[in-house]
Amino acid sequence: MLTEPRASTDRVESTPAWRLDLPRHEWHRPLAVLAVALTALSVVALVGYLVDPRELLGRPLWEKPLKFAISGALYALTWAWIIGHFTRWRRVAWWAGTVITVTLAIELVIIVGFAAAGMRSHFMVDTPLATTAWSIMAAAITTLWVATFVAGIALWRNPGGDPARRAAIRAAVVISLIGMGLGFLMTGPTAEQLSDFQGVAGAHTVGVADGGPGLPLLGWSTEAGDLRIPHFVGMHALQAILLLALALELAARRVPVLRDAETRRRLVIVGSAALLAVVAIVTQQALRGQSIVSPDALTLSLGIATAGLAVAAAIAVLTAAARSLATRTAGLDGEAPHAGARDPKGSRSRVAAEAPSDAS
């Protein structure tokens, strides 16, 4: 049974914000339970992927449940951790997380159930059962986006102890919402489907019908544009940017220039901007019907420009930070004590020297 957290505001205002070692009782429990369940489902789907020879649209039957289970587990686990840090709007964040739990669970139940029956779960409106399932999934996906948006607003209103972590979490949520929103590009019927309706309304690919050759496990088309790519990249910015912030914190133990939180914050912003640019690049690539494995000159130019600007910006941030650190260090090394400064040790020495001796 789900239990709502107490609305008391005396909770750990003194607890450091955005703790990496969040205590177990602070996690959003429904999302944490869902993450564990989806992890177990991932194992089951992996077994099906390896041993079940059946295919659907030219892809292994259990490929989709496996992908969605892994993705859902990561998403639930990340939000369970984030919501555990809230000190304001706790009730709103808790309920938003619970709605995310329910809608994500509904989507996975339908996907796994249809896969077990050897049926497509997405875009099908050819039978009453398929139409009902797709309508439920569409409503669940929309509700999931709205709940994530509400949790994001609540997150924005919460303080964060470390500027780099705060910037990382906020940027990650914004880009994740964009990536989730891009999924709606797949839900409209294509011109070909409207001209010759066969009970399918919506598609993953642009330029060819769904199915056919694709990347292993991911299933992304190697023949045409695939709208699942920007959806995936944007949605999982939630993990990528947080991992960047964590990596910078770990590196700060050995790299003095990274010990400044403002420097790490600027690097997080650079990384977030680069990832957002990548989302834009793969979106235009998919919409133009271009496969991820066959980029043209425009896509390659955009990718190279994004990488170059990101590297240049990161170097500029690190160079400025190194100069600032060198200036502060030189200032401390060259600082002379004030003439009137109190030196307890020296004072005791002077007192001892000025005191009359027993021999006198």
Q: What is the pLDDT of residues 291-333, one digit of tens each?
A: 999 999 999 999 999 999 999 999 999 999 998 888 887 766 6
* Structural domain boundaries in the chain: 24-159, 165-188+199-329
Please state the pTM of the whole predicted model.
Answer: 0.80
Nearest to 31 by CA among 95, 85, 86, 89: 95
Q: How far is Cα of residue 23 from the mean position of the Cα atoms in its chain?
A: 21
Cα end-to-end span (Å), the chain: 88
- DSSP-derived pairing of the beta strands 55-56 and 225-226: unpaired
C-alpha span between 264 and 241 (Å, rounded): 12
- Is the predicted pLDDT of residue 351 greater than 60, yes or no? no
In angstroms, rounded to a whole number, what is the distance separating the alpha carbons of residues 263 and 267? 6
Helix (H, G, I), strand (E, B) or coil at 149: helix
pLDDT at 24: 66
Query: What are phi and psi for residue 337, nearest 5 degrees?
Result: -70, 145
User: How many C-beta neighbours within 10 Å does residue 241 have?
Assistant: 26
Q: In this predicted structure, what is the pLDDT of residue 23?
A: 62
pLDDT winner (highest mean) among 121-125, 141-145, 213-217, 265-269: 265-269
For residue 106, pLDDT over 70 is answered with: yes
CA 106, 31, 97, 65 torsion-angle sign:
negative
> Cα separation of 165 and 202, whole Å?
38
| DSSP one-letter code for 25 | G
Written out in words, the top-level CATH class of the domain with range 24-159 is mainly alpha
> Dihedral of the CA atoms 337, 342, 345, 347 (nearest 10)?
120
How far apart are the C-alpha atoms of 204 and 190, rounded to whole Å?
Answer: 10
Average predicted confidence (pLDDT) for the chain: 83
